[in-house]
Amino acid sequence: MDNFQVTPLSGSVMNQKFKSKKRWAKWLFFFSVFLVVVGAIFFFLGRSSFSESKVEFDIEAPAEISSGEEVVYKVKYANRNEISLRDLKLAFFYPDDSVVIKNGVRREFLTENLRLDDLGPNQEAVVEFSAYVVGSRGDVKKAKATLVYSPEGVQSTFQKESERGTNIATLPVSLTLVSPPNTVSGQEISYILDYRNESQEDLSDLKLKFSYPDSFTVTRLSPAPSLAKDIWEIKRLKPDEGQRITISGILRGAERESKQVSVILQRKVDGIFIDYEKAVSTTTISTPPLATKILINGKTEHTAQIGEELNYQIKFSNNTDENLLGLTISAKLEGSMFDFSSLQSEGFFDGVAKTITWNASVSPLLNRLSSGQEGAVNFRLKLKDSFPGGSLGAKNFVVKVSSRTETSTVPSGFDLDRLVAESETTTKVSSIPVLVQSGLYRDQDFGATGPMPPKAGNKTFYTIVWEISNSSNDFSKVRVKGLLPVGVNWENKTRVNGQQSLPALKSNSQEVVWDIGSLPSGLGGQFPKYQAWFQVSFTPSQLNVGSAISLLKNISLEGEDSFTRQAILVKVNDITSNDLTDFPGQGSVVE
């Protein structure tokens, strides 16, 4: 048998294996610690991060309602972030034509502004608003809401918006309003209203209120109205019960002019009559034998501004097959906004009756107007430069011109003593609110921080003040805007002097927006001016030495005149550190 020898492992080899295992254990320990640390970092970073998408904001409302029904809007908001939301402000805008009743009183404005409690991580809340929503069948009435907030530990302000539409699907009471599709000016016509309760319940405390066209004179009413010549009260209306109302009268107007009659059904809620339903009907004025119309600045309709010169033209035409002789034209001017001292006309002006008269001595056409021929007389005058009693909140001013063209020549086929053509035009006078902007270093609430004059390398805080006065018409959809230049910081310190919403920063555009909504008349007279304050800051560099700092630019006020429905835009100058009220001309940067 062959011999063989087993050689034992040396001690050095065993030590090497032991050390290798020890190194692997050490690396495994450090790797585990690394994973724990990285996980903790990601965990805490995740807890402190903020995402706008995790802020939920929505309006809940029924998809369909019956006109006049009370709607409860639920504004829901939730915070799905791991940090709290601070300084929450909610603005809610009711649908147009809504009726809002608070504590037995109908609210004049359709906007509400609320300050909300802070919203913690993963918390949610609901705010409810209620209103009676009115409209015609098929109308979609929209409610809107805006939420402004600041995340905890974040300097910026964020904003969420939501909108919800509700369809007017049914009408509890059917209103059928009929009028002649066409008529000749000066002819008697009749309006007929049929109404019926189409619901399954008794309805009580109802009221029908008519709005007649301009130049309509009532002659007969059946049945007799309850109040004046335009209101019928209905104490109770049972299911399927109804009645007819007939209104007769003389309608005057210009050729092809549309004249609209309307009726509103109201019902009593908490002692207040609110709009329930509405019906309208239109009649067009046909071509008369003698026609006339009034143009203002070359147009049949015009919205005027204070101080504007108005050019009136009264046009007349012979639509018969015969010549008309000896015509006379008169124009009566009505309205406290007319400046009669500026009147220019070839006609005779009676200053007591405020009437201008033209005859054949002014124009040969008024002596003889051939078949198919037309002509015109003219006059011009200015509006006053200010509203009477403007400081007392006077509003909704109009000026009116009524013309009458007549002749004793009556063509054959007309059973008349004389031919008469009448026309009138009413012009609404628009107004403009006043926006005044100023800046402060020392503010009574925000204080004064930083060097003044501003110093390179040092931050200085400034307060911007917006002030709005409005002597005349109400305005809607009002907002003031301004743009923060590069380097100017929003300090998220704001206040107002009333119940208006606070100015807020749109972080994506660096635009400061004061969303006011409704602007009533009389601000700065009957009522205090609307005022808003907000703070900004700027740290100048050596490049700014010797120059003033631009604090806000592109400032404007926009909105809509609620009376004339005209869009308005008011602009003011940019503001710099040299424009401070308390440190005028001292805003240039020093070293």
What per-residue confidence (pLDDT) applies to 183?
Answer: 80
- The residue assigned the tokens 């699907």 is 169
Which tens digit of pLDDT belongs to each residue from 166-212?
999 988 899 999 998 888 778 788 999 999 998 888 999 999 999 99
- Helix (H), strand (E) at residue 491: strand 489-496
Q: Are residues 449 and 573 in the same domain?
A: yes
Torsion of CA 286, 291, 297, 302, to 10 degrees: -40
CATH number for the domain including 512? Answer: 2.60.40.1170
User: Position 337: which residue type?
Assistant: M
Q: Give yes or no: residues 121 and 249 share one domain.
A: no
**DSSP 3-state assignment of 11?**
helix
327 and 273 inside one domain: no
Query: What three-state secondary structure class fits 518?
Result: strand
**Residue 77 within any structural domain of the chain:** yes
CATH number, residue 422: 2.60.40.1530
Q: Answer yes or no: do 141 and 56 share one domain.
A: yes
Same domain for 237 and 126: no
Tell me, yes or no, whether 34 lies in a domain: no
Q: How many domains does the chain have?
A: 4
Question: How many other CB atoms sit within 10 Å of the CB of residue 256?
Answer: 13
- Residue holding tokens 């504004």? 75
**CA–CA separation, 513 vs 504, rounded Å?**
5
Last residue of a domain, one of 246, 265, 285: 285
191 and 265 fall within a common domain? yes
Residue 179 belongs to a domain with what CATH number?
Answer: 2.60.40.10
Q: Are 329 and 378 in contact (CB under 8 A)?
A: no
Residue 212's nearest CA partner among 194, 228, 224 is 228
Whether 471 is in a domain gets the answer yes
d(CA 141, CA 433): 29
Does residue 405 share a domain with residue 302? yes
User: Could you tell me if 340 and 453 lie in one domain?
Assistant: no
Domain assignment of residue 46, yes or no: no
**In a shared domain, residues 302 and 327:** yes
- Is 470 within a domain? yes
**Are both 422 and 330 inside the same structural domain?**
yes
- Using an 8 Å Cβ cutoff, are 469 and 524 in contact? yes
Residues 6+ apart with CB under 8 A from 350: 356, 357
Please report the pLDDT score of residue 37 as a whole number.
Answer: 43
Token pair for residue 151?
A: 């995340």
Domain end point (choices 397, 414, 430): 430
Compute φ and ψ for 370, nearest 5 degrees.
-70, 165
Half-sphere exposure of 568 (CA within 13 A, CB side): 28
Query: Which residues, other chains included, contact 525 with Cβ-Cβ below 8 Å and sequence gap of 6+?
Result: 390, 391, 392, 393, 469, 471
Task: Please identify every stretch of the chain with a pLDDT value under 70, giving residue numbers as ranges.
Answer: 1-48, 389-394, 413-416
Q: Express each pLDDT in 421-477 by its tens digit.
A: 888 999 999 888 999 999 999 999 999 999 999 999 999 999 999 999 988 889 999
Res 20: pLDDT: 54
3-state secondary structure 358-370: ECCCCCHHHCEEC
Q: Report the distance separating Cα 496 and Cα 519, nearest Å.
A: 14
Domain co-membership, 294 together with 369: yes
| Residue 42 forms part of a structural domain | no
Using an 8 Å Cβ cutoff, are 372 and 290 in contact? no
d(CA 384, CA 349) in angstroms, rounded, equals 19
Exposure string over 373-400, b if 16+ CB within 10 A, otherwise e: eebebebebbbbeebeebeebbbebebe
Per the DSSP assignment, residues forming a β-bridge with 468 are 435, 530
Backbone angles phi and psi of 22, in degrees to 5: -65, -40
Give the pair of three-digit tokens for residue 482: 């301004």
What are 511's two structure tokens?
């635009």
Query: Same domain, yes or no, for 346 and 394?
Result: yes
The rounded distance, in Å, linking the Cα atoms of 155 and 140 is 39
What residues make up the domain containing 498?
Answer: 434-579
Domain finish residue from 401, 430, 459: 430
> What is the pLDDT, as a whole number, of residue 27?
55
